[in-house]
């Protein structure tokens, strides 16, 4: 039995813990608030800010984990190098986590060092620099904090009149202590995908079938798999994903995001060194192994001989429209009576307006039109109301 310390205990971490418990592992779930989803299924839990380096190292010293698995961005990531020096495995690696938790670092690696095709971009630390970057990139553009998650602080800017609000939102939405933004050319893409990529300790890099997704304000709303795309574009995405994950090193699952333009090709967008929210569609049994089972196997060094597509599927989120503690849910019966459907309530102890509280996943046989499954899934998710 190995002891795993999970840094961040949201809904993705919860499914990962379940996968680890099925392999007989001991899990300590950590987050900044009590009763987080992953804590509800873990062996032990700790509550502290992972941006507090001393508190992080104190928890590591207390529990002496064999493996540390980051699940969120807001971590004092430089401390993970110390953990590696102590002989603790960091997933995928301290290098990977440090690079990918900061959009500037990963963009420079992808674009400048590896030569991957990306949107044009500039950085800004002040509003004046932001204005200048906007003029150079041109309208419309996308602005994002260098460190954030779930779309916090991200927006599309169409005119100079929107600059001040976009800047204020980006600074307010930043996680950690990095108050810098990236101004990114708006790509007129036809669709966007997540390519779940699995790197192994002793095996070849594997790819899941592409997952199409829809985001609003940079936050995931629905996903569907397998997303049809040309062999040429799929190969380009796989080549880029293999190149960037190899450069970052380590074993685990990576959510690699791409913009796909039928005219201009494939653009690298972002990368997460952990299970991806859009990958929750795999909870519908679309693959022989969910993204959480894949991550667990990769982390533990267990072999993954293949990833096979078993079904077509879709996911749609359940968002809260209220602020409340100990939330209740109305309409679950409507979802549960639908065939080829699963309901997953995350168990978050507090609901905020716009917070993701659950997901509906639907599946059908391969070849079923994805639009049919997507429409069904979104309609069912809309029936669940947070009270």
Instruction: With residue 217 as reference, give the H or E element that holds it.
Output: none
3-state SS, residue 259 = strand
For residue 62, which of 74, 42, 48 has the smallest C-alpha distance?
48
Cα separation, 378 vs 382, in Å, equals 6
The β-bridge partners of 70 are 7
User: Quick check: is 374 catalytic?
Assistant: no
Cα separation, 157 vs 296, in Å, equals 39
Cα separation, 332 vs 22, in Å, equals 27
- Would you tell me how many other CB atoms lie within 10 Å of the CB of residue 221? 19
> Exactly one of 278, 282, 320, 341 is catalytic; which is it?
278
> Exactly one of 356, 358, 364, 374 is catalytic; which is it?
356
CA dihedral 178→180→243→370, nearest 10 degrees, is 100
Cα separation, 292 vs 279, in Å, equals 9
Burial of 59 (0-12, 13-18, 19+ CB in 10 A): buried
Q: Are 206 and 304 in contact (CB under 8 A)?
A: yes
3-state SS, residue 241 = helix
> Exactly one of 270, 291, 293, 364 is catalytic; which is it?
270
> Exactly one of 53, 151, 203, 285 is catalytic; which is it?
151
> Exactly one of 9, 149, 223, 269 is catalytic; which is it?
149
* Lookup: tokens for 224: 């569907």
3-state SS, residue 242 = helix
User: Quick check: is 356 catalytic?
Assistant: yes
User: Quick check: is 149 catalytic?
Assistant: yes
User: Quick check: is 355 catalytic?
Assistant: no
> Exactly one of 277, 291, 293, 364 is catalytic; which is it?
277
User: Quick check: is 277 catalytic?
Assistant: yes
Burial of 170 (0-12, 13-18, 19+ CB in 10 A): buried
Q: Are 9 and 45 in contact (CB under 8 A)?
A: yes
> Exactly one of 46, 184, 257, 293 is catalytic; which is it?
257
Residues taking part in catalysis? 149, 151, 257, 270, 277-278, 356
């Amino acid at each position: 039995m190995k002891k795993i310390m999970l840094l961040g205990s949201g809904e993705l971490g919860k499914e990962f813990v379940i996968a680890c418990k099925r392999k007989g592992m001991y899990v300590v779930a950590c987050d900044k608030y009590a009763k987080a989803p992953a804590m509800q299924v873990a062996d032990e839990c700790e509550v502290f800010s992972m941006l507090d380096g001393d508190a992080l190292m104190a928890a590591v010293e207390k529990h002496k984990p064999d493996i540390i698995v980051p699940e969120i961005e807001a971590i004092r990531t430089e401390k993970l190098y110390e953990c590696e020096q102590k002989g603790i495995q960091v997933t995928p690696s301290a290098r990977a986590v440090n690079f990918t938790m900061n959009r500037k670092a990963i963009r420079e690696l992808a674009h400048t060092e590896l030569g991957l095709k990306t949107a044009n971009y500039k950085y800004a630390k002040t509003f004046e620099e932001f204005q200048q970057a906007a003029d150079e990139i041109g309208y419309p553009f996308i602005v994002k904090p260098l460190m954030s998650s779930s779309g916090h602080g991200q927006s599309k800017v169409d005119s100079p009149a929107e600059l001040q609000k976009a800047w204020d939102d980006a600074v307010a939405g930043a996680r950690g202590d990095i108050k810098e933004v990236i101004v990114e050319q708006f790509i007129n893409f036809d669709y966007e995908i997540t390519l779940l990529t699995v790197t192994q300790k002793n095996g070849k890099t594997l790819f899941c079938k592409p997952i199409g997704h829809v985001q609003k304000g940079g936050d995931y709303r629905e996903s569907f798999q397998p997303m049809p795309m040309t062999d040429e574009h799929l190969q380009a995405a796989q080549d880029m994903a293999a190149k960037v994950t190899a450069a970052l090193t380590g074993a685990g699952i990576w959510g690699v995001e791409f913009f796909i333009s039928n005219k201009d090709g494939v653009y690298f967008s972002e990368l997460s060194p952990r299970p991806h929210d859009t990958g929750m569609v795999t909870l519908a049994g679309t693959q022989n192994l969910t993204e959480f089972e894949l991550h667990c196997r990769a982390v533990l060094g267990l072999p993954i001989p293949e990833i096979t597509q078993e079904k077509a599927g879709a996911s749609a989120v359940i968002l809260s429209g209220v602020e409340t503690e100990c939330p209740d849910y109305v309409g679950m019966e409507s979802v549960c009576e639908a065939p080829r459907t699963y309901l997953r309530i995350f168990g978050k102890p507090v609901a905020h307006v716009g917070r993701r509280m659950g997901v509906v996943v639907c599946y059908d046989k391969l070849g079923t039109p994805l639009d049919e499954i997507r429409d069904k899934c979104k309609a069912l998710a809309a029936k669940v109301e947070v009270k």
